[in-house]
């Protein structure tokens, strides 16, 4: 069964723990640009990060159906990848963390 918008909103608030400014600054780094599967030169996660910033700057009542769908995708991605756990050796500087950060979640916070 699909999640309600209220469920998506609550999970989004819990899981997306980077501010729009933090995420924008992160997306400018080389580390951000070097992780993930690339389509046309930009990884899926990096493109997602740009959408997340836009969503964060949109009033809840003004979110489009596409934005709600993307929020659900972001929540699912973060839950799946945090459940896998990061590397035992230096998770702070790992592709695992960098990928999650592209999706708006810093597991080291």
**Where in the sequence is the domain holding 14, given as residue range(s)?**
1-29+44-58+65-82+92-97
Which tokens is 7 given? Answer: 């469920």
pLDDT at 20: 97
d(CA 76, CA 78): 6
DSSP H or E run through 100: helix 95-102
Question: In this structure, is residue 109 part of a structural domain?
Answer: no
In a domain, 105, yes or no: no
Number of domains in the chain: 1
Query: Is 25 domain-assigned?
Result: yes
**Does residue 78 belong to any structural domain of this protein?**
yes
Q: For 53-88, how does the pLDDT look when each residue is reduced to its tens digit (9 = 90+)? A: 999 999 999 999 999 999 999 999 999 999 998 888
Structure tokens at 37: 């599967």
Task: Please state the rounded mean pLDDT for residues 25-42.
Answer: 87
Closest CA to 74 of 102, 32, 38: 102
44-62, pLDDT tens digit by residue? Answer: 899 999 999 999 999 999 9
In angstroms, the CA 101 to CA 24 distance is 11
**Closest Cα partner for 48 from 29, 61, 32, 64?**
32
Asked whether residue 71 is assigned to any structural domain, the reply reads yes
* Tokens read off for 86: 């990061």
Give this prediction's pTM: 0.92
Compare 1 and 94 and report the one with higher pLDDT: 94
Asked if residue 38 is part of any domain, the answer here is no
């Amino acid at each position: 069964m699909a999640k309600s918008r209220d469920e998506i909103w609550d999970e989004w608030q819990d899981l997306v723990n980077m501010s729009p400014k933090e995420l924008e600054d992160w997306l400018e780094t080389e580390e951000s640009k070097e992780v993930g599967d690339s389509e046309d030169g930009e990884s899926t996660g990096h493109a997602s990060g740009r959408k997340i910033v836009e969503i964060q700057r949109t009033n809840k009542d003004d979110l489009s159906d596409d934005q709600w769908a993307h929020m659900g995708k972001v929540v699912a991605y973060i839950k799946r990848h945090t459940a896998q756990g990061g590397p035992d050796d230096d998770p702070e500087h790992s592709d695992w963390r960098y990928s999650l950060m592209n999706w708006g979640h810093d597991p080291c916070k």
